[in-house]
Amino acid sequence: MTATRLVRSRWPSVLRPGRRSAGSLLALVAGATAGYLLVAQLRGTESFTQKLASDSQGDLVQILAGLNTEAGNLRDEIDSLKVQLLGLQTSSQQDAAAAQQARQRLSDLEVLAGTVAVVGPGVTVSVTDPRHQVGYDTMVSVVEELRDAGAEAIAVDGHRVGAASWFGQDGTRITLDGAVLTEPYRVTAIGDAATMQSGLQIPGGAMDALQALPDVTAGIERSASLTLPPLSHPPSFRAAHPVGSGP
Amino acid sequence: MLVAFGVLVGVLVALLVQPSVPQDLSRYVAMAVVAAIDAGFGGVRAALERTFNDRIFVAAFVLNGLLAAGLAWLGDQLGVDFATAVVVVFGVRIFQNLAAIRRRVLGG
Amino acid sequence: MCALASFGFVLAAHASRAAGQAEAPRKAELIQLVQSSQSNVNTLDAAVRRLRSELAAAELGQARTERLSADDARRLAQLVDAAAASPVAGPGLTVTLSDSNNVPTGTADSSAYRIHDQDIQLVVNSLFAAGADAVAVNGQRIGATTSIRSAGDTVVVDLRPLVPPYRVDAIGADRDVFLRSDISRRFARWTTEFGLGFDVTSQSHLNLAAFSEPVTLSAASPAGG
């Protein structure tokens, strides 16, 4: 009797044998998970705060403005989607606004998918590079900058750039989706010409990066109407399958 | 209390392992954490009011967390905004529990 | 109970430490605004994704009731898939990039110890080159108009800042082909030289969301239509 009493008083009540039941284990695990997730979540927030803290005030203002624009865009999109849904759900005859938006959505999907030829105003960036100084990574940068400046469709040397397109390097030659691009390069982009031109021409931007390379000249010119071809190989999934969202 | 001990263990393990929540899941994890905090304060209040029940506390702790995160996720799939509701409900409960605790502790 | 109290202390200490890291009160304010704005955008984004998937379902349903040919319905679904406007799943790779933990203080070239937008751009490019059908960065699906840029040190995809570490998921990317890519080999050097994080893991099942960025095409339209 004395022995057990001693044993009992030495162990903290939490670890006393005999209290190990499924309920206790669950309590322990639940607590541990909560503590673990709390720290993980705080680390995420801290890592974000640290990242933001190393930006300048100007950068932070730019990020904030971008997020506010994004919130506005998302709200507009929500409105538009609700109108379309209402049009589809309430009657078999879509009302005019919903029908118009549905048509717009279909045509936007075709442009984004790269399955059709596209036309519109935009810019052409011409790059002469006799000594093959421009690498595939510079091309990736140029395309990203154009997209950042609002390019809705892009092509290089008559080859359309799609969502899954990639640039490669074959010796001194640049390839786009496996097709070899020939110098001089012509990058055509449809979108707001003024925004794209000023976007590329900011100090330290794509134009600067291109012209800094030896013997490379780069020029950008606006056009009222450009036509871009569709993707030569329409996108097809080999490993991915759509997650069923249909009825 | 086993749960509190578990929390300490979890915190220590996490400080060692240094995990981070993927950006796109952080909404759900944040809600589960808020729900767990609510359960924690509920437990403190119950202890002060001498109505503490081990089983209820653990159940609340686990279920609240799962419910909060689960409802938010479900809402995203179904087309209902549960996330705002979750935040409001748990926020209100936390305030109520804190007020009750304050009354108990400060006798106000 | 003591644990909960110490909890509270940990949280408070953490919050004040985080606030102290900002250099000026104005900057701390901006950081908080960015974080709450980000949270708001995430909520709105979830709503857009829900509505888009409801709309896709409704469109398919209507195609059936109006007895459009099975061909048309299939073509619409394929178009949605090709535009990255539908959620997809499948096996592939996850590439995780993270800043170095051992940044030398006060040196001018600390930029080599951070992940830049161009690093992520090239990783995405090489994943597509390795056969990826669909790629997402921190859950954001890459579409035809998606840009990966930066504002200061923060990497921004379209208009949304990313929280490091950067997780690039790619369905259908071949691991060996990717590891042989230029950027992969550069990172293999940079991990030892600068301590940057570069982890490539095969995944048997990845779930990528649809491209949810609201895009209003105002300049481009199908030619001949």
Chain C CB contacts of A52 under 8 Å are: 30-31, 34-35, 154, 161
Chain A CB contacts of B65 under 8 Å are: 30, 33-34
CB contact under 8 A, A152 and C218: yes
CB contact under 8 A, B7 and C163: no
Residue of B104 and A190 predicted with greater confidence = A190
Number of Cβ within 10 Å of residue A131's Cβ equals: 11
Judge whether C154 is closer than 8 Å to chain B, CB to CB.
Answer: no
Judge whether C120 is closer than 8 Å to chain B, CB to CB.
Answer: no
Secondary structure class of C108 (helix, strand, coil): coil
State pLDDT tens for residues A181-227: 998 999 999 999 999 999 999 998 899 999 999 999 999 999 999 99
Chain C CB contacts of A113 under 8 Å are: 79, 82-83, 144
Counted across chains A and B, CB pairs separated by less than 8 A come out at 103
Given this model, what pLDDT does residue C4 score?
59
| Nearest C-alpha neighbor of A157 from the set A135, A133, A124 | A124
What average pLDDT does chain C have? 85
Q: Give the residue from A36, A38, A45, A51 with the most C CB atoms within 10 Å of its CB, the best one to mutate.
A: A51
Judge whether B14 is closer than 8 Å to chain C, CB to CB.
Answer: no
Contact status, residue C133 vs residue A239, Cβ threshold 8 Å = yes
Counted across chains A and C, CB pairs separated by less than 8 A come out at 306
What average pLDDT does chain A have? 86
Rounded to a whole number, what is the distance in Å from the CA of C192 to chain A's nearest CA? 22
Given this model, what pLDDT does residue C9 score?
58
CB contact under 8 A, A36 and B10: yes
**A220 bridge partner residues:** A125
What's the one-letter identity of residue C19?
A
Among partner residues C11, C31, C51, which is closest to A78 by beta-carbon distance? Answer: C51
Confidence bin at C123 (pLDDT 50/70/90): very high
Q: Is the peptide bond between A121 and the residue preceding it cis, with omega within 30 degrees of 0?
A: no
Confidence bin at A247 (pLDDT 50/70/90): very low
Secondary structure class of A77 (helix, strand, coil): helix
Residues in chain B: 108
Chain C CB contacts of B4 under 8 Å are: 1-4
Secondary structure class of A135 (helix, strand, coil): coil
Judge whether B78 is closer than 8 Å to chain C, CB to CB.
Answer: yes
Report how far residue C152's alpha carbon sits from residue C161's, in angstroms, rounded to the nearest whole number: 11
Contact status, residue C174 vs residue C131, Cβ threshold 8 Å = yes
Among partner residues A63, A89, A140, which is closest to C156 by beta-carbon distance? Answer: A63
CB contact under 8 A, C161 and A164: no
CB contact under 8 A, C207 and A55: no
- The residue with tokens 């109407």 is A225
**pLDDT beyond 90 at C127:** yes
Chain A CB contacts of B26 under 8 Å are: 41, 44
Q: How far is CA A96 from CA A91, A171, A199, in A?
A: 12, 55, 37
Alpha helices in A149-238, H assignment, sequence order = 193-200, 206-211
Can you say how many angstroms the Cα of residue C12 is from the centroid of all Cα atoms in its chain? 31
Domain ranges of chain B: 24-106
Q: What is the DSSP code string of chain B?
A: -HHHHHHHHHHHHHHHH-----GGGHHHHHHHHHHHHHHHHHHHHHHHTT---HHHHHHHHHHHHHHHHHHHHHHHHHT--HHHHHHHHHHHHHHHHHHHHHHHHH--
State pLDDT tens for residues A5-49: 544 455 455 554 455 577 778 778 888 888 888 899 888 888 889
* Mean pLDDT along residues C203-214: 89
**pLDDT beyond 90 at C106:** no
Report how far residue B25's alpha carbon sits from residue C209's, in angstroms, rounded to the nearest whole number: 12
Alpha helices in chain C, H assignment, sequence order = 2-21, 25-65, 70-82, 117-129, 175-179, 182-194
Report how far residue C42's alpha carbon sits from residue C49's, in angstroms, rounded to the nearest whole number: 11
Under DSSP, the state recorded for A191 is S
Given this model, what pLDDT does residue A11 score?
47
Cβ under 8 Å to C: A residues 216-235? 227, 234-235
CA angle C156/C161/C166 to nearest 5° reads 80
Query: By percentage, how much of chain C surpasses pLDDT 90?
Result: 52
Confidence bin at A246 (pLDDT 50/70/90): very low
Judge whether A111 is closer than 8 Å to chain C, CB to CB.
Answer: yes
CB contact under 8 A, C165 and B26: no
Report how far residue C181's alpha carbon sits from residue A86's, in angstroms, rounded to the nearest whole number: 48
Report how far residue C37's alpha carbon sits from residue C33's, in angstroms, rounded to the nearest whole number: 6
Under DSSP, the state recorded for C68 is -
Given this model, what pLDDT does residue C22 score?
47
Q: Which residue of C has its CA nearest to B21?
A: C165
Contact status, residue A190 vs residue C220, Cβ threshold 8 Å = yes
Q: What does the radius of gyration of chain C's CA atoms come to, in whole angstroms?
A: 21
Q: Which chains touch C (3 or more CB pairs under 8 A)?
A: A, B
CB contact under 8 A, C43 and B40: no
Domains of chain A: 57-112 (no CATH), 117-228 (3.30.70.1880)
Q: Give me C43's structure tokens.
A: 């909520």
**CA quadruple C190, C191, C195, C196: dihedral, nearest 10:** 80
Given this model, what pLDDT does residue A64 score?
95
Helix (H) or strand (E) holding A73: helix A57-90
Q: Give me A183's structure tokens.
A: 């110098």
Report how far residue C54's alpha carbon sits from residue A45's, in angstroms, rounded to the nearest whole number: 32
* Mean pLDDT along residues A157-173: 95
Strand order in the sheet with C160-161: C148-151, C154-157, C160-161
Q: What is the DSSP code string of C23-37?
A: SSHHHHHHHHHHHHH
- The mean-pLDDT minimum among A4-18, A88-102, B85-99 falls in A4-18
CB contact under 8 A, C159 and A53: no
Judge whether C95 is closer than 8 Å to chain B, CB to CB.
Answer: no
Judge whether C70 is closer than 8 Å to chain A, CB to CB.
Answer: no
Strands A217-228 and C148-151: unpaired
CB contact under 8 A, A240 and C90: yes
